[in-house]
Structure formats: structure tokens, C-alpha cells
A and B are shown apart, each in its own frame.
Chain A
Amino acid sequence: MKKLVLTMVLGLFAVSANAQSDAISKYFDKYVDDASFMHLNFSGKMFQMIAKLEFEDEAEQKMVQESLGKIKRVQVLGKDKDVDGRKMYAEALKAIKGNEFEELMSLREDDKDIRFMIKEKNNKIHELFMVMGGDDEFGLLSIVGDGIDLNALYKLSKSIGMDGFKELEFLDKMDGN
């Protein structure tokens, strides 16, 4: 009986940890429910399917199978009108400050600021989190996985023409390292 209770408690912890393990669900949940925000959510199932794709190039095939299958969730949240992007950008950085994330890169492009942060454990990237804020736009991107290869994700999104990950272009230049 004790064993059963312990298993159930551990199970509950695992579920709650999983449900709130990404930065958007944890710190920006109120925007997820706000219909004025654009919200995209891709489950791990989607990436498992993509990982089964057959590529003509063997190296590409290996890269996709070994990296994309490890992605558990991708979320994009954004607004491009009636928003004080700069204020929200500052608030977002404040919300996650000191919370397991370390800065990967920050850049200023045109009239917006972009900051990339990662959550690492045992030399594996578990989450990439991007915050973007401009005069009238604001955006968040979260990629959660178990040892995710961001370069592979960027290359694939580029090859299928998805614009959502274009901010990861710098990884291509860095060869994913």
C-alpha cells in the first residue's frame, strides 16, 4: 500500500513538473490565455513524426533523427500591435532572472532587442528561450527537449520555409556550437 501511495505521489510530481517545465507556461501563462496574443504550440509528437522523414542526404537524415526526436515542445507567443514591446521585454527578463537560465546571446536588430537564454543540465540543453521586444512588438519562443540540437532545428525550419525560427540564424553561423 505504501509503495502504491509513493508511486502515485512521484507520478503526480512528474506530471506537475512536466506541465510547468517550460518558461512560457511557468512565467508567462497569463499571455497564453490572452486572445490578443498569437500563440503556437508544437508537441513532441510533431517532432517525432518529422524525425521519421526520409532524406536523400545521409548526414541530414542522421542529424534529423538524432536531434529532432528529442524535442518535447515548442511554443511561440507574440503580439505585433497595441503593445509596449520594450516594457514587456524588460518585464520578461525580470521574471526569469535568476531562474536556471543563462544568457546565450543578445542582439539589437533594427528597432528591437532579442535575447537568447538556455537551460542546461549535464552539458545538455533542456530549453532554449528567446525574448524579443521592440516599439510595438513582443515575442517569446521556448524550445524544450532532452539534449536539443538547435542548429538542426534551424536548418529544418529553413528548408521547409517556416519563418518562426529565423532568429536562430546565428546558430548556423556558429555551426551549432
Chain B
Amino acid sequence: MSLCEIATLSRRKMLGLSGSLVASAFIPKFARAADGRDPRLIAIILRGAMDGLSAVAPVGDPDYAGLHGDLALGFSGENAGLALDSFFALNPAMTNFSRLYKSGQAAVVHAVATGYRERSHFDGQDVLESGFAGPGNVSSGWLNRAISAIPNGSRVASNPSLAVGAVAPLIIRGPAETLGWAPVNLPGPTQDINQRLLDLYQHTDVKLAKLFSESIKTQMLVSGQAMDVSMGKVNQGGDMVAQARGAAKLMAADDGPRIAAMAFDGWDTHENEGGAKGRLFNLLTGLDGAIAEFETGLGAAWAQTAIVVMTEFGRTVNVNGTDGTDHGTGTLAFLAGGAIKGGRVIADWPGLKNAALYQGRDLKPTTDLRAVLKGLLGDQFGLSNEALSKDVFPDSGLIVPMKGLIGV
């Protein structure tokens, strides 16, 4: 695979990309921290709102199967998921995650949400990435402010962090220096936007609809994929894997970034979401592949790595009229990496009885995502509670960091 750098920052040249860092000989070596730790953190945003109830299904909840309809997973049969415990089953797409889970290197935090309670993707993502309690703050992201709060002298502080993609996601934008990198073949317009645009043209502009459907057909032929837009057969898994592979290579280096952020699009599954197979399954396959790339690519550094996967909000418990789900509230966060104290689903499960649902339609969040993130940042990088509650996640003093997520 060929890689290129998109960054415009001056230090980008330090990152050689053909296996080793070209400039490594000229970079001063840092002493290991006293405890010998050299932790890494990777933040992955899933844009569009992932359906947590189909990614990790509460099969043991007596109301689940009825509410989530054809999308529901089970412990056995045609829609069998991968059992995580006697209550939750993982989407069968995530075989790597399942393996890591069994070896104690992956965990799920369920029924989580940010502080945002409306249902706009844009605002929801801003809240998720800015780390503020509400929308309207887009000048910097919480991960960037966390980097600034890490004590000087550590490798995390000394090695610029990595923003993957043509444009740095908000989560890592801000005053702390970052490097940008993206695969040469940028993820082009996605299958998802193609479908939305085709729908729009079909309703508004017959001529453009005809041209655009021809264009999609050609793209399908070129990529060797079937013309099956509605099933989302052309998933973006390849893009996710490519981004992870490149990022892992950079982060594995002794003088590489210790922190990285990336965003994967396409999770807004209003139509034909699928369950044990289909659109969401394909997306999760990509995500699972990306996590596996990190495991492989980071090598020895994997042992002290934590990956956190999060999304702006969840989706409705009920299936809608087009075999998908609409914007909801509670969802989940995936944790993976050698540093994670895994093998468990962490959830204060609210249940799916109608009275327990948020506004009668969504999984009620019982854990604030910021508690998870504060816990990770505190245990992984030694950030003080004060810095976490003031600078990184402003006005979050009442949200107690979740302890014990890091197991090393």
C-alpha cells in the first residue's frame, strides 16, 4: 500500500512511511518514564450514530427481540451473535473484537451517551468531539486539550499526535501540535452519500438522477462490486482498514505519535440496517478490521495501547418503516487494546420496558461517556481530575471518572 502525507505542518517530514522513520536518527531519545510505561491512545469516531443495540445486543433483555424486530440478534440460530456473556451478544461481524474480548483485551461500555439530548448529527458530533456539555463550541477538541494537559517531558507530549484523514476531526483540533496523515487514495464520496444524492435526484431532478445512477453503476463495475446500493454491499471497510494500517505503522515507531484520532463515516442507518448481515454488519466488519490492524501494526506497543470507539448518539429501539432505525440516545463505546482491562460488558442496564426508555423511544443512557473518557485519560496518562474536569471536559466536575478501565 502506498501512503502519503496530507499534512501541511512543518514536522510532517519526520514521519517516513516506508517501514521506518527516516529522521529517527536525529530525534533525541527520551528516557522512559519512571514506571516504564509508554502508553498510547487511539480515538475513533463513528459518524452518523451507531446502533448500539445491534452492535452489542442485549439478548437477555426480555423486551429486546420484540422491539428490535428483524434487526435483533440472538444467541443462536440465523441471527446469532457472538456471546459476550449470558446477556449480551456481539454482532457477528466483529470476530477480532470477540477474540480480544476473550483474552481480556476488549470491553464494552453499554447504555452510554454524551451530555447531548437532542438528535442532530452535527450538534451531537460537536458535543462528542469538543468535550463540552452542549453544542456551540467548535474551536478545539477534548483530545487536543488533553494532550496540552499532559505533563511536559513525556513521550506523549513530545511526539506530536496524529490526525488521520484529509481534515483533522474536531476531537483532535486545537492548540497542541498535531500531524496529519491520510491514505493516498482518500476515501472518496461514500456509498452512503451516493445513495442520499441518488434519492434526492430521483425526487427532484430526473436528468441528474439518470446520470448519477449511471455514474454509480460505473463506479460499481470499476470496483468490482455488485450494484446493490440498498444493501450497502459496498462498505467502507477498506477505507477504515487502510487508515488504521497507516496510523498503526506511524504509531508503532519509537518516535511516532502516541495519540491518534480518526473518524469513520456511514453509520446513519435509517434504511436496510440489517442485523447479522447487511449494512451495519459491513460497517462493523470494517471497524473490526481496523482494530485488528492496530493490534498487528503496533506490535509490542499494543500492550500499552487503548482504543476507544464512540459515536454521537444511539438509535431508536424500535425498527422504523424502512428496516432501519432513527436517531436515538443511548448507545455504547468499544474499548480495545492491551492496556484495557477487558473481558467484560460494563453496563448499568436500564432495561427496555417502555417506562425505562428515554422519551419512550430510546435506550436510556445510564453512563456519561465523559466518565469513561476521563477514566481512560486519567489512568493512561496520569491527567489530574482537576484538569479533566476543567480543561478537557469543561463543567464536568460532577461526572466521576470510571476507574479500572486500564489494566496494565
Chain B binds chain A? no
Residues in chain B within 8 A of chain A (CB atoms): none
